[in-house]
Amino acid sequence: MSGHLKIERHGLVTQITFNRREKKNALTAEMYRAMVAAVQEADRDDSINAVVFCGSAGTFTAGDDIHDFLAEVHAGRDFAGHEFLKTLALCDTPLVAAVEGLAFGVGTTMLFHCDLVYVAPGASFRMPFVEFGLVPTGGSTLIVPRRIGTAKAAELLLLANSFGSKEAVDLGIANAIVPVDSLFSHAMKQAANIAGKPFDALRNTRRLLRGDRNEIVARMEVEMQAFKQAMNSEESRAAFNAFLKRNPQQ
């Protein structure tokens, strides 16, 4: 279990909190692996009927920890973030997110795998894969245009435009804007409401709503092959080097 995650049980609900405050909750391979284990455990446990993701210290997550990510790449390890997103795609348990502050990279893409998303008024979202010389992951090239339309998906994935809470709700990425002081309690209340529904009906309905998971996972694997090729490119190395020069503490 990662020390930068808090994983707690509240009745029928598992709560996963990103708790790496000094790094704006940037995610490491260790954190991803701990979340994979927690989500899979919740999925196997018939007494858990919802999982809630949230951040700490006013931030959801700044996305991948770049130093940790590059260390994993150089060590030749599999991309832990890919396994995390695939776990979400294959999950039967309803997923809820409470988003405050920054939701960068995977902090945005993971929301497309959640069933209910509640956002604070000042939340900010961005998927900057192209700016790093990479391609989107997590099935984003399939799910995002289906959810919000191809034209808007091009703005968010090709231009890497940032967007706020109102646009997230207007686009159907989030369900509602909730005041900061009640954001977490509201998300937990809705998760508990879901979790109290009949078990089989709940999970079967979720499967039908999410669509063909094999298609999503197949697209994720295609994206990952392109992602790995991009990681070896000169333009990606130059983009990461430039980022680290601008942000030496990241």
For 128, half-sphere exposure in the C-beta direction (CA atoms, 13 angstrom radius) is 16
The pLDDT assigned to 2 comes to: 59
**Entry pTM:** 0.95
Mean pLDDT of 152-172: 97
Q: Residue 67 contacts by C-beta under 8 Å, 6 or more apart in sequence?
A: 244, 250
The pLDDT assigned to 74 comes to: 82
On whether the CB atoms of residues 28 and 66 are closer than 8 A, the answer is no
CATH 3.90.550.10 for domain 5-182, yes or no, is no
The pLDDT assigned to 40 comes to: 98
Provide the mean pLDDT of the chain: 95
What b/e readout covers 40-71, taking b as 16+ CB neighbours within 10 angstroms? Answer: eebbeeeebbbbbbbbbeebbbbbbbbebbbe
pLDDT over 90 (residue 246): no
3-state secondary structure of 243: helix
The pLDDT assigned to 68 comes to: 93
Q: Give me the percent of the chain exceeding a pLDDT of 70.
A: 98
* Torsion angle of C-alpha atoms 1, 61, 177, 84, degrees rounded to 10: -50
Which pLDDT band holds residue 144 (cuts at 50, 70, 90)? very high
**One-letter amino acid of 161:** N
> Is residue 9 within a helix (H) or strand (E), and if so which, with residue range?
strand 5-10
pLDDT over 70 (residue 100): yes
Mean pLDDT of 16-29: 96
Q: Cα dist. 169→94, 121, 153, 177, 245 in Å? A: 19, 11, 15, 7, 35
